[in-house]
Structure 1
Amino acid sequence: MPARNAFYAQSGGVTAVINASAAGVIEAAREHPEAIGTVYAGVNGILGALHEQLIDTAHESAQTIAALRYTPAGAFGSARYKLKGLEENRAEYERLIEVFRAHDIGYFFYNGGGDSQDTAQKVSQLGEAMGYPITCIGVPKTVDNDLPVTDTCPGFGSVAKYIAVATREAGLDVASMAETSTRVFILETMGRHAGWIAAASALAQDREDAPPHVILLPEVALDEQRFLDRVQACVERIGYCVVVVSEGLRTADGQFVADQGTRDAFGHAQLGGVAPAVASMVRDRLGYKYHYAIADYLQRAARHIASATDVEQAHALGRAAVELALAGHNAVMPTVVRESGSPYRWHVGQVPLEAVANREAKMPASYIDAEGLFVTEAALRYLRPLIAGEDYPPYRDGLPEYARLRGERVAPRCPPFRD
């Protein structure tokens, strides 16, 4: 059977290590020229296929592809774009097949979260229905760590490390100034429905009464009085309080504290500003001087302090996606399978896309303390290995040196897409 080409795309919010997965995919594909011809990358994710904007990665040197392992963000561009169901908008899926057919693409590697795995599954189903053989493999990615089945998601370990480091360093700052300045510091993290990122801040606590002192999670409805009582007790005991709050914090009636009233392309509520909302509670009810910080993009772009474990897993799962495809698998996603926590050992597994598509894994109740204001030792045992190790990028003139792609486009062969 002659070699067929591959299409790789990045989807949703990017991470510090999504390009490491891209490197894994491209490098593994290059090792099998008898089966995979050219790897095309979509410009801005799945939009690159819909609009036939493809990058020919064959024009990128081996050194440049290897450098993707050290480069944050989405090297080929990503997008928050959710394809509708097959019944709602079959035209989009048929367009994908049209472009794939025009460029003899037989492999589709989609690097993203639960929504992206749903898209990969649907493309696989439609390809079969249309008589066009296409192997679809999901490559897991999400800073939120909310994909089910896999022990962890590439992207999470590095965000967890960043938040833990930021919490420890900011905590030292606040402690040194608390007598005459800020009493309460609030750090807002990402995490819409799952509190894994905020929970990781607990790794900073290296001694009794060290920050963080309170963690507010989406899994636990905010009890304002209980929260304020904890903050006040902390300030009275040690002089200050560090709070870490997930953007997805909800009230008792299920409403997001920071709901902006708009939706993104995936239909998710646009969140932002939970830290100032919590700060207002502290000011109005307790009268303490406060400061807050919103980590926002900084937490997911911080490749300079990435977790070595995270980088290794992201790269390995990119390679595994190609290996699964060449072994004849379809509509599956490689996973991280934990063998033991201490010492940390893991291997690559696999799961059908239908088991992860449009599904979320929240923190289990056993990882949250009885008052819902901190995490348990079981959570810390789970989290510790995921931030282990340093994998610094190369530096030049005092700054990280990241990959720069040539990004040569492929000439279109299909008529323009009208969406």
Structure 2
Amino acid sequence: MSKKNAFYAQSGGVTAVINASACGVIETARQHSDKIGKVYAGLNGIVGALREELIDVSQESTETIAALRHTPSGAFGSCRYKLKSLEQNRAEYERLIEVFKAHDIGYFFYNGGGDSADTCLKISQLSEKMGYPIQAIHIPKTVDNDLPFTDNCPGFGSVAKYVAVSTKEAALDVASMCATSTKVFILEVMGRHAGWIAAAGALAQEQEGDAPHIILLPEVAFDKEKFLAKVQQTVADNGYCVIVASEGAQYEDGTFLADAGSVDAFGHKQLGGVAPTLAKMVKNELGLKYHWALADYLQRAARHIASATDVEQAYAVGKAAVEAAIAGKNAIMPTIERNGSSAADYSWSIGEAPLSEVANVEKFMPEEFITADGFGITQAGRNYLEPLIQGEDYPPYKNGIPQYARLKKVLVGKKLEKGFDVL
């Protein structure tokens, strides 16, 4: 049996370390050139496969691929494009398999969150029925840390480190000026349904009274009166109050504090800014001077302050995906298994989970990680989070600026006569 080519694609919101996973895939595939032919990458994720826009990764040098390990964002291009169900649009899946067949692709590595896990599973199932079986391996990635079965998700440790550091530094600023200026500072972070990123802000605390004083999680119903009372008391006690708020903070009935009234490509509610919403409450109800900030793309692109643990894990799941495919495995996701119960005795290893159980399942903050008042994290939560932000892995610098990989992105020639309308 002749060796097959491989296809790799990046999906959804990018992270500081998704390219480290790409590096793990490509370097490992090159080490197994006796079993894997060429590696192609989708230009702008799965959209590249549908349009038959495949990047020939063999055109990239060994040095450039190695540099992916310290390069943030999606080097090959990502996309927010959710494939419909097989019942709604079977043609999309059939098109993918046609493209794979035309380019002799037998391995599909999809680097993303829950939606991409579902896509991976469906391609594996349909390709078997169509007589051209594809070994589909999902590579976990999401800053939201909400994939099941894996202890944590590559991408989360680095955003957690950024949020913790940014909270600490901003708090020092506010504390120094609070006597005559800003009393309340609000940092809005990502996290639509799961509050892992907001919770990581608590790692800025070293002793009682340290910021952040309030953390707002989607898992805890927002109570306006309780929140304002906590802000007022904190300012009275400390002179200032620092808040880390998840974008997905919501009322008891499930309404987001910042529902913008529209939906994105995945059908998710567009959130319009929880920080200014909270700031308006503070101003109108308490009359306190405030400032707010959106961590936004900064939090997920901050490779200069990435967690070394996160980088290592991101590379490891990419490597493990290729090794699993070579071993004949299909429709699985490499997972990170935790050993030890605190930062002091923490270690990890690679496991795996079946995609049939991973797809479209979200993992939320457990109750035992959240304090009784709902505004902070417990020691158990800290024990979980702390190991994930450990270690520094700085990119190389030139003239004071990090140096990141620049890809040629050479496309292979198209082999199918008909195109495919995607967007």
Deviation at residue 278 of structure 1 after TM alignment: 0.5
Matched, 1:311 2:339: no
SS in 2 for 1:5: strand
Aligned to 1:320: 320
Whole-Å separation in 2 of the counterparts to 1:356 and 1:372:
28
Whole-Å separation in 2 of the counterparts to 1:96 and 1:209:
55
Give the aligned residue type for 2:120: A
Matches within 5 A, 1:110-121: 110-121=110-121
Aligned to 1:417: 420
Matches within 5 A, 1:279-318: 279-318=279-318
Matched, 1:399 2:401: yes
Aligned to 2:159: 159
Whole-Å separation in 2 of the counterparts to 1:360 and 1:252:
19
Aligned to 1:344: 346
Whole-Å separation in 2 of the counterparts to 1:119 and 1:18:
18
Whether the 8 Å CA contact 1:171–1:211 is kept in 2: the answer is yes
Whole-Å separation in 2 of the counterparts to 1:43 and 1:406:
12
Whether the 8 Å CA contact 1:161–1:306 is kept in 2: the answer is yes
Deviation at residue 340 of structure 1 after TM alignment: 1.0
Aligned to 2:247: 247
Give the aligned residue type for 1:300: R
Give the aligned residue type for 1:408: V
Deviation at residue 261 of structure 1 after TM alignment: 1.0
Matched, 1:72 2:75: no
Deviation at residue 418 of structure 1 after TM alignment: 3.0
Matched, 1:258 2:258: yes
Q: How many residues align?
A: 419
SS in 1 for 2:41: strand
1:236-294 CA distance string (max 9 Å, x none): 01100000000000012210111111111111111131000011111111110000000
SS in 2 for 1:6: strand
Aligned to 2:123: 123
Give the aligned residue type for 2:145: N
Give the aligned residue type for 2:279: A
SS in 1 for 2:169: helix
Gaps of 5+ in 1: none
SS in 2 for 1:110: strand
Matched, 1:104 2:104: yes
Whole-Å separation in 2 of the counterparts to 1:54 and 1:141:
21
Whole-Å separation in 1 of the counterparts to 2:112 and 2:154:
10
Whether the 8 Å CA contact 1:81–1:265 is kept in 2: the answer is yes
Aligned to 2:63: 63
1:66-93 CA distance string (max 9 Å, x none): 0000000000000000001111100000
SS in 2 for 1:384: helix
1:78-123 CA distance string (max 9 Å, x none): 0000001111100000000000000000000000000000000000
Deviation at residue 208 of structure 1 after TM alignment: 1.7
Aligned to 1:9: 9
Give the aligned residue type for 1:89: N
Whether the 8 Å CA contact 1:337–1:347 is kept in 2: the answer is yes
Aligned to 2:174: 174
Aligned to 1:375: 377
Whether the 8 Å CA contact 1:161–1:200 is kept in 2: the answer is yes
Give the aligned residue type for 1:111: N
Aligned to 1:150: 150
SS in 1 for 2:168: helix
Whole-Å separation in 1 of the counterparts to 2:398 and 2:270:
37
Deviation at residue 127 of structure 1 after TM alignment: 0.4
Aligned to 1:83: 83
Whole-Å separation in 2 of the counterparts to 1:56 and 1:203:
42
Whole-Å separation in 1 of the counterparts to 2:100 and 2:76:
18
Whole-Å separation in 2 of the counterparts to 1:133 and 1:104:
11
SS in 2 for 1:28: helix
Give the aligned residue type for 1:367: F
Aligned to 1:353: 355
Aligned to 2:276: 276
Whole-Å separation in 2 of the counterparts to 1:36 and 1:309:
29
Whether the 8 Å CA contact 1:2–1:34 is kept in 2: the answer is no
Deviation at residue 355 of structure 1 after TM alignment: 1.3
Aligned to 2:50: 50
The share of aligned pairs that are identical, in percent, is: 67
Deviation at residue 133 of structure 1 after TM alignment: 1.5
Aligned to 1:205: 205
SS in 2 for 1:116: helix
Whether the 8 Å CA contact 1:194–1:218 is kept in 2: the answer is yes
Give the aligned residue type for 1:418: D
Give the aligned residue type for 1:302: A
Q: Give the aligned CA root-mean-square deviation in angstroms.
A: 0.7
Whole-Å separation in 2 of the counterparts to 1:223 and 1:273:
18
Runs of 4+ in 1 over 4 A off after TM superposition: none
